[in-house]
């Protein structure tokens, strides 16, 4: 059974931070073969959403309030599920928990994401709507999407 919770950067333990960075690196750098600057200076200003099972971090996302990634929107990013746990609907549970957390913490803010283009339909299932044209981010096609409320 996966349990989800969130913490500010200051509340994270060193082990939690290590596990988050290891999962992000495992998927975004190694699996996707994408050399990019994952540690971008936004983590200290983020709310970190963690999914754990049997003490292991298997899912993660970070929430950023308005003004960090986008001047007019809050955002959710670095959404990731470990490769061995895919196919268990954890991505949907993680996104649902992330949206609820964002709306709880900043209910008046609109929510925007930069989604990998191949995941557009996945995010549409969570009421995100594509805006604008496809673009490259770190060599991977992305689309901007806004949560419809």
Segment 84-95, tens digit of pLDDT: 999 899 999 999
| pLDDT above 90 (res 38) | no
| pLDDT above 90 (res 30) | no
Phi (first) and psi of residue 39, to 5 degrees: -80, 95
CB count, 10 Å around CB of 82?
Answer: 19
CB 101 within 8 A of CB 8: no
Give strand pairing partners of 135.
142
Domains of the chain (ranges plus CATH)?
3-109 (3.40.630.30)
Which of 35, 36, 60, 59 lies closest to 46 in space, CA to CA?
A: 60
Task: Give the pLDDT confidence score for residue 18 in this predicted structure.
Answer: 98
Average pLDDT of the residues in 20-38? 87
> Going by DSSP bridges, is the β-strand pair 46-53/56-64 parallel, antiparallel, or unpaired?
antiparallel
Average pLDDT of the residues in 70-83? 95
CB count, 10 Å around CB of 71?
Answer: 7
Task: Give the pLDDT confidence score for residue 28 in this predicted structure.
Answer: 86
CB count, 10 Å around CB of 58?
Answer: 22
Task: Give the pLDDT confidence score for residue 138 in this predicted structure.
Answer: 85
Average pLDDT of the residues in 97-104? 96
Task: Give the pLDDT confidence score for residue 71 in this predicted structure.
Answer: 95
DSSP assignment letter at 121:
H
The token duo for 9 is: 């950067």
Q: Label residue 11 by pLDDT band (50, 70, 90).
A: very high
Mean pLDDT, the chain, integer: 95
- Quote the CA–CA distance of 63 and 66 in Å, as a whole number: 10
Phi (first) and psi of residue 97, to 5 degrees: -65, -40
CB 37 within 8 A of CB 75: no
| pLDDT above 80 (res 149) | no
| pLDDT above 90 (res 147) | yes
Task: Give the pLDDT confidence score for residue 127 in this predicted structure.
Answer: 97
């Amino acid at each position: 059974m996966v349990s989800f919770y969130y913490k500010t950067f200051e509340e994270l333990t060193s082990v939690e931070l290590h596990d988050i960075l290891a999962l992000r690196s495992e998927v975004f750098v190694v699996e996707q073969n994408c050399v990019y600057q994952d540690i971008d200076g936004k983590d200290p200003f983020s709310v970190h959403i963690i999914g754990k099972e049997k003490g292991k971090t298997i899912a993660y996302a970070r929430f950023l309030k308005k003004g960090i990634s986008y001047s007019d929107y809050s955002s959710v990013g670095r959404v990731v599920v470990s490769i061995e746990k895919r196919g268990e609907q954890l991505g949907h549970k993680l996104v649902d928990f992330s949206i609820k957390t964002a709306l709880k913490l900043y209910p008046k803010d609109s929510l925007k994401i930069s989604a990998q283009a191949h995941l557009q339909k996945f995010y549409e299932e969570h009421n995100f709507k594509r805006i604008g044209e496809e673009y490259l981010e770190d060599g991977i096609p992305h689309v901007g999407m806004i949560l419809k409320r």
